[in-house]
Structure 1
Amino acid sequence: MGLLRQERDCLAHAGRRPRGEVSQARHHLPGLLEQRRELRELPATGTLSSPLRTAAQEPCPGSEPTWASGVKYETFRHNKGWVLVAGSLQKRDRAREHLLGLVESRVVGQAIPSERQLSAELEISRPTLRAVVDGLVRDGWLVREHGRGMFVGSPKVAQQISGTHGATYPTAPGTWTSRVLSHATIQAGTLIGSRLRVTPTTAVLRIARQRFVNDDPICLETIHVLQEMVPEFDVQAIEQNSFYALLEERYGVIPTDAEQTLAAAAADATESALLGLALEAPILILERTTRDQNGRRFEFTRATYRGDRYQIKTSLSLSKPPGGPPNAE
């Protein structure tokens, strides 16, 4: 009942009616509301189909409940109501990272634990876990077989993009701004630990942010950076500044090279709401592991870009290297 009272307080602050008098969101986002069922709350009093604007987002006064994992979430308002965002991102991202860690530790066709077992282990609801699994099935990481369970899927084909500036991001002109959705110091876990070559218990700073071009949402980023390399990091500073520029200016950490993968996917309910897209609209997923001037892996970032606002530019050399194999046709 505490969350219900908080919602009413938020609605009173916004000059809106209580949840029982507004049901429009149920029609527009049944999937998102299904994921929030464990809260017994509506995430907003209106539709989330229009793009969110930074100027209209405001923190909900006095609303800082704590999830079972110990990570706080926040409530934001846009021009059509209040939206719970950070908590959902934290739970879903935590489940996704755990599942990807299981995939990386297994071979193609090997079974993974059941949804019931994973739900109990991660302490999240079955609908929330199922939404994460559905996304991994769509992306090819998992295969679901009726009556048998879930299995590791076949790996995707990856293209090596060479050169200092082989891929250029972003390409959209305009004024770039960011909105920090959540931040916390967490343990690296299996997936992030393997990417950064550290133990699962290593402390990392995790920042989830929403990026805008001329106030239009265009990208969601979840950044993981080794905590020991950025003590007392000013998270809010990245809303108006380059993350890499801050690392170099304040900590002497110079990003020198990175490995990144690109994949096409379909937007889930949360991504659709935050990016102003239709459900299952095309998106581009970029995962990047970055090294500093000493060759140490210090950052792993997963970014989700709108498919209708991004393009990839590559510079390719088609000449045969001396003594190398012939070019494939």
Structure 2
Amino acid sequence: MTVEAVRGGVPEHGRVPKYYVVKSQLLNLLAELGEGALLPAERDLAAAYGVARSTLRQAISELTMEGRLRAHRGRGTFVAAPKLVQPLALRSYTEALREMGRRPSRRVVTVETVPAGPLGADLGIAATDQVLHLERVLLADDEPLGLESTYLPVARFPGVMDGYDGTGSLYQHMIDRYALTYAAAVERIETVLASPREAMLLDTNPAQPMLLMQRTSSDADGHPIERVRSLYRGDRIGFETHLHP
């Protein structure tokens, strides 16, 4: 099997799938319509582009998966707002979103104490030691963006939920309560599909690609602070980092 070079989405042999041509035309249309505009009816677009409605739907489906369109049942399909772009850094979700002009909030789903199990190795504790599991939906302007599970060693951080309702910044709460310094982190990012439960909590399609981020943060002495699993909607948020030699 040979690997063909692709430039601008067009293979070297020049044969472009019809839906991809329609997708390119739709992108131009979205730029003209602007954010929040209602997409014209399928039958009108199919007639304008001279394609079958099934071809048009494939193009619209890809643009929806990419977060360029948003479908609302009973209302139609609309031009989506640009994705949020959050920096990869040791900082609060709250702080990052506020700098982007968005209103951050969180909805608590689960607060429980469980054995560390396999996570104990990352947290420097035994598998039988207890960890606090705090699961929250991350929101921006009340729109679900991510589902975050944080695991904290109970022995190291006793009473961590005292005076804290889980809706504010855990990062800032930990700094204020325990005088912590978040000095380093190891983070892994990959693409996954959400489980039915996760998709329901994030108000998204289970077939929608998600960004899974798993982070272990450490203090200035190199001791693990927390293990965090964050699942983000790939159609609504992206991440960036600055690299230096």
TM-score by length of 2: 0.57
Residue identity over aligned pairs, in percent, reads: 26
In terms of fraction of residues, the more helix-rich structure is 1
The one-letter amino acid paired with 1:264 is T
Larger RCO (alpha carbons 8 Å, 6+ apart): 2
> Which region of structure 1 is more displaced relative to structure 2, 165-174 or 279-288?
165-174
Q: What is the number of equivalent residue pairs in this alignment?
A: 156
- For 1:166 and 1:230, the matched residues in 2 are separated by 20
- For 1:214 and 1:165, the matched residues in 2 are separated by 22
Aligned-pair CA distance for 1:293:
2.3
Instruction: Select the residue among 110, 123, 129 that pairs with 1:182.
Output: 110
Aligned-pair CA distance for 1:221:
0.7
Aligned-pair CA distance for 1:236:
7.3
Q: Is the 8 A contact 1:166 1:315 kept in 2?
A: no
Residue 211 of structure 1 pairs with residue 133 of structure 2: no
Residue 266 of structure 1 pairs with residue 193 of structure 2: yes
Aligned-pair CA distance for 1:300:
0.3
Aligned-pair CA distance for 1:192:
0.3
CA offsets, 1:97-131, max 9 Å, x none? xxxxxxxxxxxxxxxxxxxxxxxxxxxxxxxxxxx
- For 1:232 and 1:168, the matched residues in 2 are separated by 21
- For 2:155 and 2:188, the matched residues in 1 are separated by 26
**SS of match in other structure, 1:204:** strand
What is the match of residue 28 of structure 2? none
What is the match of residue 153 of structure 2? 226
Aligned-pair CA distance for 1:183:
1.1
Residue 315 of structure 1 pairs with residue 238 of structure 2: no
Q: Is the 8 A contact 1:221 1:302 kept in 2?
A: yes
Q: Is the 8 A contact 1:247 1:254 kept in 2?
A: no
- For 1:202 and 1:237, the matched residues in 2 are separated by 23
- For 1:236 and 1:212, the matched residues in 2 are separated by 22
- For 1:247 and 1:166, the matched residues in 2 are separated by 13
- For 1:235 and 1:173, the matched residues in 2 are separated by 30
Q: Is the 8 A contact 2:92 2:169 kept in 1?
A: no
- 1:119-268 aligned at under 5 Å gives the runs 165=89, 173-189=101-117, 191-234=118-161, 237=164, 239-268=166-195
| Cα 1:238–1:290 shift into 2, 3 Å | farther
- For 2:138 and 2:121, the matched residues in 1 are separated by 27
**SS of match in other structure, 1:201:** coil
**SS of match in other structure, 1:250:** helix
CA offsets, 1:224-263, max 9 Å, x none? 0111222112277354421111111111222111000000
Q: Is the 8 A contact 1:167 1:314 kept in 2?
A: no
Task: Return 5+ residue gaps in structure 1 as ranges.
Answer: 1-48, 51-163, 320-329
TM-score by length of 1: 0.44
Aligned-pair CA distance for 1:284:
0.4
In terms of fraction of residues, the more strand-rich structure is 2
Task: Return 5+ residue gaps in structure 2 as ranges.
Answer: 1-70, 73-87
The one-letter amino acid paired with 1:174 is R
Q: Is the 8 A contact 2:131 2:153 kept in 1?
A: yes
| Cα 1:238–1:308 shift into 2, 3 Å | farther
- For 1:178 and 1:282, the matched residues in 2 are separated by 22
